[in-house]
Amino acid sequence: MFDVVLREMAVERGIWETRQLIDLPDDDTSPMEAEVLRGRAGRSLEHLFTLLSLVLPPETVRLAFQGLHTGDRHLRGTALEYLETVLPEPVWQMLWPFLDEGAVQPAHPKRPSGQVMQELLASQESIILALAELRRREGR
């Protein structure tokens, strides 16, 4: 599955940015429960995280996806650290530019992946509250 993820990310940037879901109307829920994030996260990134949820714990992958887009630096940092600890190095290296274009990649995490995963799961309520605040601000 990680090979499929690598192939998905290997497409030309213009194709990546213009991908659209053809079998799910915009007003339906998404696999990553990202309806509030539609303006912040592209369909390609959402699709990629759906693929990752096939080989990694789906709940933590969904939380990581959401945490990346909440606007909260701590939640985003935890999500990034989780991804860096659980993804194979080639996948992480290829994914990073799609997550934070132009930013310097953080140093390798020092904590074990299980510890980071527990922190991400413990952040679930904060992520839900941050997404609810985004919905409120955007009038959804």
In this prediction, residues 3-16 reach a mean pLDDT of 80
pLDDT beyond 60 at 35: no
pLDDT beyond 70 at 108: no
Which structural domain range is residue 127 located in? 2-138
In this prediction, residues 105-127 reach a mean pLDDT of 84
Report pLDDT for 70.
86
pLDDT per residue over 63-90, tens digit each?
999 999 888 889 999 999 999 999 999 9
Q: What are phi and psi of 107, to 5 degrees?
A: -65, 155
pLDDT band at 137 (very low <50, low <70, confident <90, very high): confident
pLDDT band at 23 (very low <50, low <70, confident <90, very high): low
Q: How many CB atoms lie within 10 A of CB 137?
A: 10
Q: What is the DSSP letter of 70?
A: S
Dihedral sign, CA of 101, 124, 39, 50?
A: positive
Radius of gyration for the chain, computed over Cα atoms and rounded to the nearest angstrom = 15
Domains in the chain, number? 1
Alpha carbon separation from 67 to 10, 23, 33, 40, 136 (Å, rounded): 24, 26, 12, 12, 17
Q: If you search the block for the tokens 């990546």, which residue do you land on?
A: 16
